[in-house]
Amino acid sequence: MSTPKHPKGLYLIFATSTAERFSYYGMRAIFILFLTQALLFDKEHAASIYGSYTGLVYLTPLIGGYIADKYWGIRRSVFWGAMMMAVGQFLMFSSASMLEAKELSHWLMYGGLTFLILGNGCFKPTVASLVGQLYKPGDRRLDSAYTIFYMGVNVGSFLAPLVCGYFGETGDPNDFKWGFLIAGIVTVFTVILFETQKNKYLIGPDGEQLGIIPDSRKGQPQAAKTISQMDADKSNKLRNYIILGILTVALASFFYWCFGDDWISIGIFTACIVFPVSILLEGSLTKIERDRIFVIYIIAFFVIFFWAAYEQAGASLTLFASEQTDRVIFGWEMPASWIQSFNPFFVVILAAIMPGVWGFLNQRGLEPASPTKQAIGLLLLSLGYLVICFGVKDVQPGVKVSLIWLTGLYFIHTMGEIVLSPIGLSMVNKLTPIRFASLMMGIWYLSTATANKFAGTLTGLYPEAGKVKTLLGYRIETMFDFFMVFVIMSATASLILFLLSKKLQKMMHGVE
């Protein structure tokens, strides 16, 4: 029987995620500035690297989720993921320490990004899926649990830009290394915390130790198979491999035609279709399971537009804060990287409120279904960009706008995020068969990978003096033109998802 009190394991996951997200967002807070001010890349090239990095960070959870489900289990994946991320942060520190050796510095930076990407792939989907395993199926506390988990993520996200930005963004390019070093030290702390406390607190509702046995061994009993059944399984696997192979080649060719030899874009956009299809080809899925997985895929498609606009925080909005925002407060100029703390600060506040709001609405039969919540999140994102459009409209080049416009944007975006993101994680957990728990969480993050790469492409549209940029024939010459792209994109996605919400609720077959 469910009780209002949450399992203690939730708070270990909360603390572990806080430390790990400190590492990620500490590095991200100064990354675009490091690329443009220390490595001296132009904005378009820096935006491409940023988009590729953040896109791959959310692509590799698919691989990490598969490894965790099939072979390692969650605990081992968390350990090795955190270890690889620590190595990545120390390589970034080395890169920033050797700016005079230009070529070596670049190679160390790319090596650091590689370890950060692989480590995050092992860590991210497993920790998120572990939250759901603390509760029995149907437990009404799950949405609240994911909101609390999300608050932990954002405690780390709030502190990281302040600390890493303070030590890293000083105006001296040689100081970026201190931000990366601090992020690396905190990652090591994540490993120590998890390894020393996991046996005590990661306990399931039935008293079993969580995260040791790979999830694929839990989903269904392994019945003895006849020779004919084994032959049929082999035949189906061969058929699936052929279908997926043909689909991969066709999509890769199409995206090569679209993007040229940008192999990271080709890989991400191909994977975002091929891997979801591979789950649907799984012969063990029932009709209800298949319908529920379709719901996840449809909503994940719309979530791409949310994160593509939202993730401008680490790229174009940081450049906007650095170059065109008046950050002077009582004679002191706030570092541009600190503004990235606005969003997680608001998240921590709203995440403490929203479980009570959902509970209040639920008691009165007014709580929106998950698809509707996602549509509301997209609408709020559009409104946030509309606010800043008013702030930059008719502003002359070289004139800085008040910090209040960015603050308003981040507050409204945070309301959208807190409605969309933790509820999305909870929805994936509730709709996914247990044998695919971490893998489906990886596929959910695949939409974020696609969005982050798309976000890097959109950041490349950031207005620059002497350049006229276009998107589908739309000319982008001013910041107003640039921000209107996100207003229109988010509002359109929100409207379509609202119209689909009733149909999606039916396909969830009773899952709230």
Q: What is the DSSP letter of 211?
A: S
Can you tell me which residue has the tokens 């995440």?
351
Judge contact between 109 and 48, C-beta under 8 A: no
Distance CA 211, CA 290 (A): 25
Q: Tokens for 291?
A: 């319908």
Q: Which neighbouring-strand residues pair with 328?
A: 333
What number is the average pLDDT over the span 235-239? 79
Give the HSE-up count for residue 76: Cα atoms under 13 Å, Cβ half-sphere: 12
At 228 the pLDDT is 60
Q: Which neighbouring-strand residues pair with 333?
A: 328
Give me the DSSP letters along 153-181.
HHHHHHHHHHHHHHHH-SS-GGGHHHHHH
Judge contact between 392 and 479, C-beta under 8 A: yes
Rounded alpha-carbon distances, angstroms, from residue 242 to 66, 101, 235, 239: 20, 47, 11, 5
Q: Which of 214, 198, 190 lies closest to 83, judged by CA? A: 190
Rounded alpha-carbon distances, angstroms, from residue 303 to 43, 151, 444: 26, 20, 9
At 486 the pLDDT is 93
What number is the average pLDDT over the span 72-99? 91
At 1 the pLDDT is 38
Residue 509 reports pLDDT greater than 90 = no
Distance CA 445, CA 251 (A): 20
Q: Which neighbouring-strand residues pair with 282?
A: none
Pairing of strands 328-329, 332-333: antiparallel
Q: Checking phi first, is residue 73 left (phi over 0); if not, alpha (psi -120 to 50) or beta?
A: left
Give per-residue pLDDT as tens, 465-492: 777 788 878 888 888 889 999 999 999 9
Distance CA 91, CA 401 (A): 37
CA angle 446, 450, 456 (to 5 degrees): 140
At 231 the pLDDT is 61
What number is the average pLDDT over the span 305-320? 84
How many angstroms separate the most distant Cα atoms in the chain?
79
Distance CA 51, CA 187 (A): 23
Judge contact between 505 and 299, C-beta under 8 A: no
* Comparison of pLDDT for 379 and 130, the residue scoring more: 379
Rounded alpha-carbon distances, angstroms, from residue 391 to 224, 239, 384, 385, 388: 67, 56, 11, 10, 5
Question: Which of 275-279, 303-307, 357-361 is least confident?
Answer: 357-361
Give SS3 for 474: strand
Give per-residue pLDDT as tens, 413-469: 989 988 888 778 778 878 888 777 767 877 887 888 888 888 888 888 888 777 778
Element (H, E) at 333: strand 332-333
Give per-residue pLDDT as tens, 120-147: 888 877 777 788 788 887 777 777 787 7
Q: What is the DSSP letter of 216?
A: G
Q: Which of 185, 168, 184, 187 lies closest to 176, judged by CA? A: 168
- Write out the E strands in 12-160: none
What amino acid is encoded at 90 in this protein?
F
Residue 223 burial (CB count, 10 A): 6
Distance CA 361, CA 376 (A): 15
Residue 107 reports pLDDT greater than 90 = yes
Give me the DSSP letters along 269-331.
HHHHHHHHHHHHT-TT--HHHHHHHHHHHHHHHHHHHHHHHHGGGGTHHHHHHHHHEE-EETT
Give SS3 for 368: coil
* Comparison of pLDDT for 347 and 228, the residue scoring more: 347
Element (H, E) at 139: none
